[in-house]
Homo-oligomer: A and B are copies of this chain.
Amino acid sequence: MAKKTDNPKMGRPRGFDTTAALDAAMRVFWEKGYEGATLTDLTDAMRINRSSMWAAFGNKEELFKKAFERYLGTYQGYIREALEKPTIREVIESSLRGTVDFLATPGNPKGCLSVHGALAVGDEADPIKQWLIQLRKNGLSVARKRFEQAKKSGDLGEDVDPVALTRYVATLIQGLGVQHASGATKAELMRVVDVALQHMGYLDEGQHPNHKENQAR
């Protein structure tokens, strides 16, 4: 039976801050991945009892999803901001440099939760892996719209494939996360971004590097 009351104000109120607890869980998942993070790891970090976690968040899977949503809200705002920049050149530069700033923020775990959360996992964690894949696809889709709009508005040259360019930038961003997790410093990551941006100098001119008589700078 265990029927729920209509009045949620009744009874003993929660003794901990749910968002603070979610933040703590998020960091553990970020460091150890979904299946590497033990319930004990999580509750220790959240400074919460096992059953309190259970009552507040459901189970490990639900906890991860909620922590991930908080991660998106807290840490991935720079991507949304980057996509709103007026020119595609600024969109790319802002998202790449933003990624490096984000990754190298002192105190942040290595890499990004979207990739590190569940890249290759056992059967039990497969639903979470699939869920993350879908979210990454959605993110790519949002970015692609911005690039396609730039193509229509003439911000991107005639011979530029906006879909491929979107995925190229996404590939770089995800690669930066792996590099970071492999021990690259902020300066080294930023040098990678410099190289990528130098290569894309043609965006400033609205011309393609393979065009004849393309003058850069």
Contact = CB atoms under 8 A, between A and B. Distances in A.
Contacts of A183: 133, 137
A165 interface: yes
B33 A120 contact: yes
Contacts of A110: 120
Interface stretch (A43-51, A80-88, A170-178): A170-178
Interface string A192-210: 1011101111100000111
A181 interface: yes
Contacts of A191: 161, 163-164, 167
A38 B42 CA distance: 22
A125 interface: yes
A32 interface: yes
B209 A120 contact: no
Given A140-B182, A161-B195, 5 more contacts: A41-B122, A117-B120, A168-B192, A174-B174, A177-B178
Contact of A216 (B120, B137, B210): B210
Nearest to A31: B120
Nearest to A109: B120
Contact of A179 (B109, B171, B176, B215): B171
B119 A111 contact: yes
Interface string A86-129: 00000000000000000000000111000111011111010000
Contacts of A176: 171, 175
12 contacts: A32-B122, A36-B121, A116-B119, A119-B119, A167-B184, A170-B175, A171-B175, A171-B179, A171-B192, A174-B175, A210-B216, A215-B215
B182 A137 contact: yes
Between A32, A111, A136, the greatest number of chain B beta carbons within 10 A of the residue's beta carbon is seen for A32
Given A195-B164, A195-B165, A199-B199, A36 B125 contact: yes
A203 B156 CA distance: 23
